[in-house]
Every structure is written in structure tokens, then in C-alpha cells.
């Protein structure tokens, strides 16, 4: 047998347990062989993305038990769907890029499309671009002269950051696969380079020609000198000695079960996935209701995030990073450490991503799964019957952490005993820095002498492929109003809710309205609760500002998804990324604007919610030199999904001695 045949046999012999299981190392290898056999892997071809091409939803739902459960046994339901991988390939000598889908099952390339970078955008940044960008600027005479003019003659001490370029309609830029490079001084090996930005200089690098094609040298600002090396005892001071241990133990083990990627806990069931671009993906989230598995969400993920910076300086106006579409957040996932990143009884899942060469790389302990005490679930001391009851809340936590340049992001999904789902992103790491020009500067906070941290936004997009009690769903916008004094409300205390059905895609680009406590309720148009009301889950937004870049700006077109807090679209398997498939240097208009262009009916349809969240971040001095976690996210709560509080059956804690209810007739006043 040839190598190819052996690998393919291996990949076939060990079929994934389920069609939504993440691609495995042997599958990446087998896929690479198929690409090579099709002549698509020349010596200069690199993988800018490589991952599972998920099977169509209807194929999964046609499986046994609606495709839920740990195993998808072929023969008992539909057949195992075709197993496919998708690769974004780039020839780093010619720049030619292709979007390729291959079938492991059929052992062939299914489709291969060459990108037109002017209209399609470009493939994401490669791993090799980090070292390459530095090598290129270090060798460039103009850039070296700009550094030398600032007294920086030893370029080995200057770190270069390959920053995505955006798209500003400049022909000389659009024609190139390029990054813009800002520089930071790292005088000692362990120095924190971000503390020493060489502001006022930007090098524009053509990654294909491997040269700097322009140096912007506009402002002469001193390089801030104070060390930000928070590992250095001189900088951080002595460690405090007053923290006593907190141990988290579960002597009988956790209450969840994990079978492959299938997770069950306290009535919840779901499948955990992982993708190099999106990171954690959750599938087929259901709730058990008296033995019935009731679907809630078919697929949940955060497929995009953009971090636009608000400093209009000529050397930095273009700073806006699409961390998922341009850098791939999943690819940079951390290996998590027990007792350090996660506390308690932890189950880990590894993640496999591919390197530039398409070789699989396993990130051990990339996904952390555990159970947490979360304070009080419910509590009441009754003044009439004397009952004093208290129950503790718990949540199941599924999380991963990723490092994208200076920032670190933790993505946490929480599932609670009462049916609540929460998504929380933890933002930490090191602020992006600039030189601080002096008092009254509007666009940055001074965080160390002469060091600025520009204001920016973090705008995440959650893609929630909803499935409340089935695929026929709709969204109502719920506002709460105080009513004017008048007939029927003589004392002016009346308050009421209005529910407005978002019937078409064109009506469903919505913003939060905290003054009305605005919520979006996703209802089943087929199932009702005991009151005859549709079963539903409600989305609670946090209502931070949407994209603040000016309408008409390049970013406004490129990050159109972020101009509203909510979009609702009819499900389409091709609609995966809210800023489009190829975000890097894309001129704008891709993603959400094209998804809603057909203005589909979304009342009683298979629908997807796209929810924008995340803070406008004007840094505080306390966020330097490393930032304590800031949080953002959203919550989904059952709203008439159950007929009453679903947690009456939660027992009191073993160390809890609730007062016995008073005997009938004892009640006093």
C-alpha cells in the first residue's frame, strides 16, 4: 500500500463517532494527500485555514434520534454524511489563493475556487507571516533609517507586528497581499515590548514580494521607557503572602458525563466542537423535559470579532483587527493547566488545528469542562408558613482561551440548572499601546509615563442557529413601556410590554434599547406551553454601543455586522461568517449585508440570530501592564419553555438544614 492509501484506509477505518466531531489528525493528513493528488499542493502552497466542512443540517437531523447522542450509527437512521474538509490554500510565491472543499469519504476534491482578491478578499494571516514580517522590515533601508533617526540602531531589539491592513481603496495596496507593521522595542530578552512602542512609523509590507513597499514616518514621538515587564520583581514588587488556599473538591466526581464530544449534565445535552477559525463550537444543545429531549440551539459559536481602534493618527487609522476572520482565534488556543487556568474536577478536550503546511497540531487541554457552584439558586423564608428554604445554583462551564497578539480572550459558555445559557468573553492580556503625546489627547489613556493605550471597541458576533422545540421559530422584540396618565391609568403607574414580530430579514436588523429593557424572544411557532403561549427562550443583550466608526467609512462597510446588536436571517448553510468568508483586505459588504439582501420571511422559519456584543474600551491605568479580566457577553433564558420553575426538584445542600414547614394551622400573622 502507498502512504496515501494507508492513511486513507486509516481515516476510513476510524470513522468519527459523529459527523460533527472535529477533524482528527489522521483526517487532516488524509485530506492533504487528496489535495496533493489533485495537484493543489505545490512546494510554495500553504494552508491559511484547514478544518471540518460540516455536513448539511438536514443530514445530521436525519440521523438516529435526530442526530443527537454520542454516536451516529449508520444504518439505524440515515447514512453517515459525506465527511469533508475545507482548506484555504495560498501559494506564497505567486499569491494565488483557493477555497477548496474535499471529501474524505469519496477521496476527491469536491470544489476548488481561485479567489479574486479585489472582490473576494484574501486568505487569513499565516503563522509564518509573523517571523517573515519582522525579517522583511529588519532588512529594509528606509525603515532602518526611520529607526536610526530615533536612535534605534540595533534592529535585533525591535519587534515587528504583522497587522492586518484593512481596505482603503488604495490601488497600490489592494493589489498586494500586505500587512502593516508597527514596531516595539524589546531591549532585553524578557522585556515587555508593548511598553515601548516606536510610534509614528509604520511599514507596509508586501508578503508575496517579500519587501517593504512604503514607510510612513509622520510623527516624532519618544519611545516610552518605563518597564512593563510584570514578571520582573523590580516592576511588580514582592508577591503578597496573605492569600490562603481555596481548594475545590468533588469527592464523588463531577455530575456531568462526557462520551467522546457528547456532554450531558443535569438535563442539558450538547456536543462540543472546535474549529481553527471559530474556536469552540457547540452543537445540538437540548434540554431534557420529563424524558423528552427538547432542542434549544442547533449550533452556537462566536464566528467573528473585530477590534477597531479609534486613533485617527496617519500611522494607525487602519487599526482594526478581525481576530477570527483574519487571524483565526481557534488556531491560537492555549493549552490549559489544571489548578491554574481551571479549578476543580476538570475534563479536558484536546483540539487539533493545522499548521501552514497542513500538518495537524494537537493543542492538549484546549477545552476545559467543569461544574461550578454559583451561589444561590433560589431562597425564601416564608412569613406565613415558616418554610425557610435555600438551594444552590450550579453551572456547567465549557471554555477555551486564546492569545491573538497582545490580547488574550477566554470564551466561556455556561449552562445553569434553571435552563439559563450564558456566553461570557473574558478579555485580558496586554493593551495595544502608542506614544502618549500629552495632556488633553482625546484618543488614548496615559497608562505609564509617555505611554498611551488608544480607545477601541471589541465587537463580537455570536451566531446562534436556534431550534426552540424544532426548526420553525420566530423572533419577537419585547419592549417595556410606562404608560401615560389617562383613562385606565389615572395614577400613572401602568407599565406594559409590547411584542413586535420581526417578520422579515429587512426588519430584523435591531439595536438594543436599555431605556425599554429591550429583549428578543425566540419562539417556537409550533409548540405551546400550558398557557397556550409559544415555548421560547429570551435573549438579554448587554447594550454596549454598536460600531462607532463613521457611516460611510471603510470599517463601517467591512464590519457591517457590528452596526446592529441583532440580525435574524433565514438559515442557509453558506452563511457562516458575519463579515464574509475572506475578511482579510476585503473591501466590505460581505457577510450579513448579503445574507439579508434576499429579505426572506423569518416568521416560522429555520432562523439564525447574529448578536453583536462587547465593550467600547477606553483603558484605565489599572489595566496596565497586564489587564485584569473584563467581561462581556449575553444571556439566554427560557421564557415559557417550561411551565414553571424547573428547579423545584433540586435538593438542599447536604450541609443545609432547612426549617421544617410549619404544620397546617400554625400560621400566624
CB 160 within 8 A of CB 147: no
360 to 389: interface string for Cu ion, x by CB under 5 A: ------------------------------
Q: Which is nearer to Cu ion, 264 or 623 (CB)?
A: 623
**Smaller CB distance to Cu ion: residue 265 or 624?**
624
For 224-240, b where at least 16 C-beta lie within 10 A, e where not — what string? beebbbeeeeeeeeeee
**In the complex, minimum distance from the CB of residue 518 to Cu ion, in angstroms, rounded to a whole number:** 25
C-beta closer to Cu ion: residue 298 or 432:
432
Residue 179: CB atoms within 10 Å: 25
The residue (of 85 and 182) whose beta carbon lies closer to Cu ion is 182
Give least dist CB 168 to Cu ion, A.
Answer: 23
Which one, 86 or 617, has the nearer CB to Cu ion? Answer: 617
Question: Binding to Cu ion by residue 150, rule CB under 5 A?
Answer: no
Q: How many residues bind Cu ion (CB under 5 A)?
A: 1
User: What element of type H or E holds 134?
Assistant: helix 128-139
Spatial CA neighbour of 90 closest among 579, 574, 582: 582
DSSP 596: T
Q: How many Cα atoms are found within 13 Å in the side-chain-facing hemisphere of 611?
A: 32
Task: Using alpha carbons only, give the angle 236, 237, 240 rounded to the nearest 5 degrees.
Answer: 105
Residues 6 or more apart from 388 whose CB is under 8 A from it? 380, 381, 382, 658, 659
The residue with its CB nearest to Cu ion is 617
Residue 289 CA to residue 294 CA, distance in Å, equals 7
443 lies in the binding site for Cu ion (CB under 5 A): no
Do 602 and 569 touch, CB atoms closer than 8 A?
yes
Minimum distance from residue 632 beta carbon to Cu ion (Å): 10
Shortest distance in whole angstroms from residue 601 CB to Cu ion: 39
Q: Choose the catalytic residue: 50, 327, 407, 414.
A: 407
| Strand boundaries in 134-220, DSSP class E | 158-164, 178-185, 197-206, 211-217
Nearer Cβ to Cu ion, position 204 or 411? 411
Q: Which residue has the cell 474536577?
A: 345
Residue 557 vs 617, nearer CB to Cu ion? 617
- Longest Cα–Cα distance of the chain, Å, equals 93
Select 299 or 617, whichever has its Cβ closest to Cu ion: 617
Using the rule CB under 5 A, is 294 a contact of Cu ion? no
Nearer to Cu ion, 178 or 459 (CB): 459
323 is an interface residue for Cu ion by CB under 5 A: no
CB crowding 454-476: b at 16 or more within 10 Å, else e: bbbbbbbbbbbbbbbbebbbbbb
Residue 395 lies near Cu ion (rule: CB under 5 A): no
Q: Under a CB-based contact definition with an 8 Å cutoff, are residues 391 and 377 in contact?
A: yes
Query: Closest separation between CB of residue 307 and Cu ion, Å?
Result: 7
Q: Does 611 bind Cu ion (CB under 5 A)?
A: no
* Beta carbon of residue 489, minimum distance to Cu ion (angstroms, whole number): 45
- Of 152-160, 217-225, 468-476, 617-625, which segment contacts Cu ion by CB under 5 A? 617-625
Given the rule CB under 5 A, which of 210-218, 440-448, 611-619, 656-664 is the region that contacts Cu ion?
611-619
Other beta carbons within 10 angstroms of residue 580's beta carbon come to: 25
Smallest distance from the beta carbon of 547 to Cu ion, in angstroms? Answer: 15
Closest distance to Cu ion from the beta carbon of 661 (Å): 51
Active-site annotation holds for 323: yes
Tell the smallest beta-carbon distance from residue 549 to Cu ion (Å).
16
The one segment of 22-30, 219-227, 347-355, 616-624 that binds Cu ion by CB under 5 A: 616-624
CB of 546 to Cu ion, least distance (A): 16
Decide: is 299 part of the binding site for Cu ion (CB under 5 A): no
Interface with Cu ion includes 614 (CB under 5 A)?
A: no
Active site (annotated) includes residue 436: no
> For residues 187 and 224, is the Cβ–Cβ distance under 8 A?
no
Nearest to Cu ion of 88, 624 (CB atom): 624
Choices 51-59, 411-419, 473-481, 609-617; region in contact with Cu ion by CB under 5 A: 609-617
Shortest separation between residue 276's beta carbon and Cu ion, angstroms: 24
C-alpha cell read off for 554: 471603510
Contact 471, 463 (CB under 8 A): no
Interface with Cu ion includes 600 (CB under 5 A)?
A: no
E strand or H helix that includes residue 643 = none
Q: CB under 5 A: which stretch of 340-348, 468-476, 529-537, 612-620 binds Cu ion?
A: 612-620
* Radius of gyration over every alpha carbon of the chain, rounded to an integer in angstroms: 27
Round to whole Å and give the CA distance between 628 and 499. Answer: 39
Does 617 contact Cu ion by CB under 5 A? Answer: yes
Residue 395 or 617 having the CB closest to Cu ion: 617
251-260: long-range contacts at Cβ-Cβ below 8 A with a sequence spacing of 24 or more? Answer: 253/345, 254/344, 254/345, 254/347, 254/370, 254/371, 255/371, 255/394, 256/347, 256/369, 256/371, 256/396, 258/347, 258/349, 258/369, 259/70, 260/17, 260/18, 260/21, 260/70, 260/71
Q: For Cu ion, which is the closer residue by CB, 430 or 462?
A: 430
Is the preceding omega at residue 426 within 30 degrees of 0, hence cis?
no
Binding piece for Cu ion, criterion CB under 5 A, among 284-292, 315-323, 394-402, 610-618? 610-618
Residue 407: CB minimum distance to Cu ion, A: 7
Rounded to whole angstroms, the Cα distance separating 608 from 569 reads 5
Q: Is the dihedral of CA 89, 91, 92, 97 positive or negative?
A: negative
Interacting stretch for Cu ion, rule CB under 5 A, among 1-9, 294-302, 601-609, 613-621? 613-621
Stretch that binds Cu ion, among 108-116, 132-140, 266-274, 614-622 (CB under 5 A): 614-622
- Binding to Cu ion, residues 213-252 (CB under 5 A): none
454 lines the binding site for Cu ion (CB under 5 A): no
CA distances from 18 to 310, 356, 561 (A): 45, 27, 32
Best CA proximity match to 658, nearest among 438, 425, 387, 395: 387
Region 457-516 residues binding Cu ion, contact defined as CB under 5 A: none
Which residue among 323, 469, 581, 603 is the active-site one?
Answer: 323
Burial of 363 (0-12, 13-18, 19+ CB in 10 A): buried
Q: Which residues of this protein are in contact with Cu ion, per CB under 5 A?
A: 617
Q: Which residues are catalytic?
A: 323, 407
Amino acid at each position: 500500500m502507498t502512504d496515501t492509501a494507508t492513511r486513507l484506509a486509516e481515516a476510513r477505518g476510524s470513522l468519527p463517532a459523529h459527523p460533527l466531531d472535529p477533524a482528527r489528525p489522521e483526517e487532516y493528513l488524509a485530506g492533504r494527500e487528496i489535495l496533493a493528488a489533485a495537484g493543489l499542493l505545490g512546494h510554495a502552497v500553504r494552508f491559511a485555514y484547514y478544518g471540518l466542512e460540516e455536513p448539511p443540517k438536514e443530514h445530521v437531523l436525519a440521523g438516529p434520534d435526530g442526530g443527537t447522542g454520542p454516536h451516529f450509527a449508520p444504518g439505524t437512521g440515515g447514512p453517515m454524511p459525506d465527511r469533508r474538509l475545507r482548506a484555504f490554500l495560498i501559494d506564497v510565491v505567486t499569491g494565488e489563493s483557493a477555497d477548496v472543499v474535499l471529501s474524505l469519504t469519496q477521496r476527491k476534491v469536491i470544489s476548488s475556487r481561485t479567489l479574486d482578491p479585489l472582490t473576494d478578499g484574501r486568505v487569513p494571516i499565516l503563522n509564518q507571516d509573523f517571523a517573515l514580517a519582522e525579517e522583511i522590515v529588519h532588512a529594509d533601508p528606509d525603515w532602518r533609517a526611520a529607526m536610526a533617526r530615533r536612535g534605534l540602531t540595533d534592529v535585533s531589539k525591535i519587534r515587528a507586528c504583522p497587522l492586518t491592513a484593512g481596505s482603503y481603496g488604495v490601488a497600490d495596496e489592494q493589489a498586494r497581499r500586505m500587512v502593516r507593521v508597527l514596531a516595539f522595542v524589546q531591549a532585553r530578552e524578557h522585556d515587555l515590548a508593548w511598553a515601548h512602542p516606536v510610534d509614528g512609523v509604520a511599514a507596509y509590507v508586501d508578503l508575496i514580494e517579500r519587501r517593504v513597499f512604503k514607510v510612513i514616518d509622520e510623527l516624532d514621538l519618544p519611545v516610552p521607557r518605563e518597564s512593563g515587564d510584570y514578571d520582573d520583581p523590580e516592576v511588580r514588587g514582592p508577591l503578597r503572602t496573605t492569600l490562603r488556599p481555596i481548594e475545590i473538591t468533588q469527592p464523588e466526581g463531577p455530575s456531568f458525563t462526557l462520551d467522546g464530544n457528547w456532554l450531558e449534565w443535569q438535563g442539558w445535552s450538547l456536543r462540543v466542537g472546535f474549529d481553527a477559525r471559530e474556536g469552540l463550537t457547540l452543537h445540538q444543545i437540548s434540554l431534557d423535559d420529563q424524558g423528552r429531549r427538547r432542542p434549544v440551539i442547533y449550533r452556537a459559536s462566536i464566528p467573528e470579532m473585530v477590534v477597531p481602534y479609534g486613533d485617527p493618527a496617519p500611522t494607525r487609522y487602519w487599526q482594526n483587527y478581525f481576530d477570527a476572520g483574519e487571524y483565526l482565534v481557534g488556531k491560537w488556543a492555549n493549552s490549559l493547566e489544571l489548578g491554574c487556568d481551571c479549578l476543580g474536577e476538570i475534563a479536558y478536550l484536546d483540539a487539533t488545528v493545522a499548521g501552514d503546511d497542513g500538518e495537524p497540531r494537537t493543542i492538549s487541554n484546549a477545552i476545559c469542562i467543569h461544574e461550578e457552584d454559583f451561589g444561590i439558586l433560589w431562597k425564601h423564608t416564608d412569613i406565613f408558613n415558616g418554610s425557610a428554604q435555600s438551594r444552590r445554583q450550579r453551572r456547567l462551564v465549557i471554555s477555551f482561551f486564546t492569545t491573538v497578539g497582545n490580547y488574550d480572550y477566554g470564551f466561556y459558555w455556561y449552562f445553569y440548572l434553571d435552563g439559563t445559557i450564558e456566553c461570557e468573553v473574558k478579555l485580558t492580556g496586554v493593551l495595544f499601546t502608542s506614544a502618549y503625546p500629552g495632556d488633553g489627547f482625546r484618543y488614548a489613556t496615559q497608562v505609564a509615563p509617555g505611554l498611551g493605550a488608544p480607545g477601541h471597541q471589541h465587537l463580537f458576533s455570536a451566531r446562534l442557529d436556534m431550534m426552540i422545540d424544532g426548526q420553525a421559530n420566530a423572533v419577537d422584540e419585547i419592549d417595556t413601556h410606562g404608560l401615560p396618565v389617562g383613562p385606565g391609568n389615572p395614577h400613572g403607574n401602568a407599565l406594559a410590554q409590547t411584542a413586535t414580530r420581526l417578520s422579515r430579514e429587512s426588519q430584523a436588523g435591531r439595536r438594543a434599547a436599555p431605556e425599554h429593557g429591550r429583549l428578543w424572544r425566540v419562539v417556537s411557532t409550533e409548540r405551546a406551553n400550558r398557557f397556550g403561549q409559544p415555548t421560547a427562550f429570551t435573549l438579554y443583550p448587554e447594550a454596549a454601543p454598536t460600531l462607532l466608526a463613521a457611516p460611510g467609512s471603510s470599517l463601517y462597510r467591512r464590519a457591517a455586522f457590528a452596526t446592529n446588536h441583532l440580525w435574524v436571517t433565514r438559515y442557509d448553510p453558506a452563511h457562516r461568517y458575519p463579515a464574509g468568508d475572506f475578511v482579510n483586505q476585503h473591501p466590505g459588504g460581505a457577510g450579513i449585508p448579503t445574507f439579508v439582501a434576499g429579505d426572506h420571511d423569518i416568521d416560522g422559519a429555520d432562523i439564525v440570530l447574529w448578536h453583536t456584543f462587547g465593550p467600547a474600551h477606553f483603558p484605565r491605568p489599572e489595566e496596565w501592564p497586564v489587564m485584569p479580566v473584563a467581561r462581556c457577553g449575553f444571556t439566554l433564558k427560557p421564557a415559557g419553555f417550561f411551565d414553571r420553575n424547573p428547579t423545584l426538584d433540586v435538593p438542599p445542600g447536604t450541609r443545609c438544614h432547612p426549617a421544617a414547614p410549619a404544620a397546617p394551622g400554625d400560621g400566624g400573622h
